[in-house]
Structure 1
Amino acid sequence: MPRRRPGRVRAEQWPRHRLTYQPPIAGLSPPALAEVARVERSRNYLWPGVTAESVRIWRGFVRDPYRNLWSEYEDGGCGVWECCGSPFEAREFLDAVIHGMSRRRARELRFLVDQLDNSY
């Protein structure tokens, strides 16, 4: 029986680990970040990195002194959610992720979001 090339053998194998970049969220432990990544992969209405972007958008909105003047553009902005996303939609994404996490890990993210909500 002829020998198969090592590259062909590796190409036919299933990847064991999926190495994707998970943006860090300041204030969350590594197990909580892993739980966030699991929830983002398991829900069809979320995508990888949406939680970090939602925290960034919500934090930016809450800390902006002109937040009371924010209104959604009539034309919808540039169409890129990470650039011109709605902070209220970002807050809804954060709620969805919190509800999908285990109680112990969700407590960390909930604490972070509650701090932002209290300053709003």
Structure 2
Amino acid sequence: MRAIAYLERTRLWSHAVTDALRTWSWFVDDPWHRLWDPTSGCGVMECCPNPPELRWILDVAVAVLPPKDARTLRKQIAVLDEQW
């Protein structure tokens, strides 16, 4: 996971990928949040997440990971995406 640590240190913030994965999971599990409206909400990831931003973080993480780790993360994301 050095690639993620480097990505977070140089481009994102500490624990950005973990936060994005946890928040995406929470978001798709909550039926009220499926009705995301970009004009409302507080903008705090843990409260009113922006789905495109979460997916961007996860997609970037997949892109920088070694192939085996990228496949594992893609599978986790795919399970969540099916709920969306």
TM-score range, shorter-chain basis?
Answer: 0.7 to 0.9
CA distance in 2, matches of 1:81, 1:119: 19
Give the deviation of 1:56 after TM superposition: 1.6
**Corresponding position: 1:54 with 2:20:** yes
Larger radius of gyration: 1
Query: What does residue 109 of structure 1 align with?
Result: 73
Establish whether residue 37 from structure 1 lines up as the match of residue 1 from structure 2.
Answer: no
Paired with 1:94 and 1:68, the residues of 2 have a C-alpha distance of: 18
Judged with a 3 Å threshold, the aligned counterparts in structure 2 of structure 1 residues 55 and 70 are, in CA distance, closer, same or farther, namely same
TM-score by length of 1: 0.58
Q: Taking structure 2 as the reference length, what is the TM-score of the superposition?
A: 0.78
Is the 1:40–1:97 contact (alpha carbons within 8 Å) kept by the matching residues of 2?
A: no
Shift in CA distance, 54/73, structure 1 to aligned 2, threshold 3 Å: same
Give the match for residue 70 of structure 1. Answer: 36
In the alignment, is the contact (CA less than 8 A) between 2:27 and 2:34 conserved in 1? no
CA distance in 1, matches of 2:70, 2:4: 9
Structure 2: runs of 5 or more not aligned: none
> 1 or 2 for the larger relative contact order (CA 8 Å, sep ≥6)?
2
Report the alpha carbon displacement of residue 65 of structure 1 after superposing the two structures with TM.
1.8
Cα RMSD of the aligned pairs, angstroms, is 2.1
Number of the residue aligned with 1:8: none
What count of residue pairs does the alignment treat as equivalent?
84
Instruction: List, as ranges, runs of 4+ consecutive aligned residues in structure 1 with deviation greater than 6 Å.
Output: none
Which structure features the higher share of helix residues?
Answer: 2
CA–CA distance in 2 between the matches of 1:51 and 1:113?
12
Residue 109 of structure 1 aligns with an amino acid whose one-letter code is L
